[in-house]
Structure 1
Amino acid sequence: MTDYSNIMGIPVPKLTMPETVARIQGVLAERKRKLFHVVTLNPEIAMSCQQDAELRGIVDGADLLTADGIGIVLVSRMRRNPLPERVTGCDLLFELLEAGNRSGWSFYLLGADEATNRRAADLIRQRYPGVSVVGRQHGYFDPSEDERVAADIAAKRPDVLVVALGAPKAERWIHARKDRLQARVAVGVGGSLDIVAGTVKRAPAVWQRLHAEWLFRLLNQPSRWRRQLILPRFALKAILYKERAPARQS
């Protein structure tokens, strides 16, 4: 039975990366066509869920949540109900590619610009020869093309649909079309295709071990500073968050 840590009212399962990958492997082994939606929960999504009922419904309805970032993990520790480790969208993508390379999974890549998307697909084919990239689509398509893109994914029937449209756009896009995508697992991975393609540099291992990947990104992409302002706000609100008492029955 899975244990959970409460992050601003959102129950996040206490799973390590190997346990998360194993759960997804189990889903794929069942060969069911019902889409399994994985949401990589970051502070931005958790904060938005407090005012956005539609997004909260999407998160509550997801098949699996992961702790995307050290901020989520640190808050769980401060609230004395610790998550074991972070399971970021980027790390999860690489782990799924490794597992897919061994098991012959098929992937569809949705997101990033055309050059980045194409390069990511090419590099995946080179580095993971056991993986099939059955389709791809850059993320700068017009909303009027949503159904065309969804139909292309459905026609390709990938084992894993990788959606790099940014959060929470990816989560909304998957949820709105989950009954017709014909993918078996769908996961939002933020800007991870940029890292796969090498257009954005991943923080060195030492920065990752120090949980300072966010600082590395900020130093290399100063334009992110406005977005990073959410982190201290999230930490304060999440630590002080109080569960709402259930409504009394009349």
Structure 2
Amino acid sequence: MVPVANIMGIPFPKLTMDQTLSKLSEIVEQNRSSLFHVITGNPEIVMRCQHDAGLRSIVDEAGLVTADGIGIVLVSRMKGGHLPERVTGCDLLIRLLETGNRNRKNWSFYLLGADEETSLKAAEAIGRTYPNVTIAGRHHGYFTPEEDEKIVEDIRRAAPDFLIVALGAPQAELWIHTYRSRLNAKIAMGVGGSLDIIGGKVKRAPKVWQDMHAEWLFRLINQPSRWRRQLILPRFAVSALLYRER
């Protein structure tokens, strides 16, 4: 049993990135009958779970919740939980691609999200950089509810090892949960704006910013329109530190 750190009632397993990769590698090699849902838990999701019972239920039922952001890690340490490191959706996706490419297991990925041009560029970039993995299919993220059935059927036919959903939080989590019994994928996870980064639409913070845990600041400087979303960070820090875990 993996020990967990509770953040506002959400259990985050104390897993490093390497341990998370090992766990998912084992799962994808199994003949599972049900989809394994990975939620990259950021402060926005944790805060929303406090008043959204439906999302909280989805998080509670997930196979794995990772610490998506340094804020989650720092709060856990301040409260004695000591999560070892952050495991973000973008980093996890890239490491999965690297692992699949290196081990030549022909892992397959279905990409759902981003605009059409970015989706295509992301698929092309993955094909060039990781030739030993397969893009089983893709679809942009600007679809209507009426198109859900067509997309679900496309994913079902593709039967990917990994369904990568870049619809933003919590839309990705809700969409995966709604159709999880019909997706015919082994693992599904929301990855925020990762396809925008892989497709070259958004520039990721240089490694020095990442090492300083200031990636959020780099994004805010380069995308000032995000300031409203960033307000969640101080609210989360205060709320989480004052929260009395049951």
TM bin (shorter chain):
over 0.9
AA of the residue aligned to 2:68: D
Partner of 2:122: 120
Displacement of 1:31 in angstroms is: 2.5
Asked if structure 1 preserves the Cα contact closer than 8 Å seen for 2:7 and 2:245, the reply is no
* Identity fraction in percent: 64
For 1:33 and 1:22, the matched residues in 2 are separated by: 20
Equivalent positions of 1:73-112 (< 5 A) are 73-101=73-101, 102=103, 103-112=105-114
Tell me if 1:57 matches 2:57: yes
Aligned match for 1:176, one of 151, 175, 178? 178
Partner of 1:133: 135
Q: Give CA deviations for 1:16-58 in whole Å, capped at 9, x if unaligned.
A: 0000010000101112242110000000000000000000000
RMSD across aligned positions (CA): 0.7
Name the SS of the counterpart of 2:164 in structure 1: strand
Partner of 1:9: 9
Equivalent positions of 1:150-229 (< 5 A) are 150-229=152-231
Displacement of 1:206 in angstroms is: 0.5
Q: Give CA deviations for 1:60-92 in whole Å, capped at 9, x if unaligned.
A: 000001000001001001101110000000000
For 2:160 and 2:21, the matched residues in 1 are separated by: 17
AA of the residue aligned to 2:36: F
Unmatched runs of 5 consecutive residues or more in structure 2? none
Q: Give CA deviations for 1:113-156 in whole Å, capped at 9, x if unaligned.
A: 00000000011011100011010000001111111111100010
Name the SS of the counterpart of 2:86 in structure 1: coil
For 1:147 and 1:69, the matched residues in 2 are separated by: 33
Unmatched runs of 5 consecutive residues or more in structure 1? 245-250
For 1:139 and 1:75, the matched residues in 2 are separated by: 32
Length-normalised TM-score, structure 2: 0.98
Q: Give CA deviations for 1:99-122 in whole Å, capped at 9, x if unaligned.
A: 121221000000000000000001
For 2:211 and 2:31, the matched residues in 1 are separated by: 36
For 2:31 and 2:22, the matched residues in 1 are separated by: 15
Name the SS of the counterpart of 2:227 in structure 1: helix
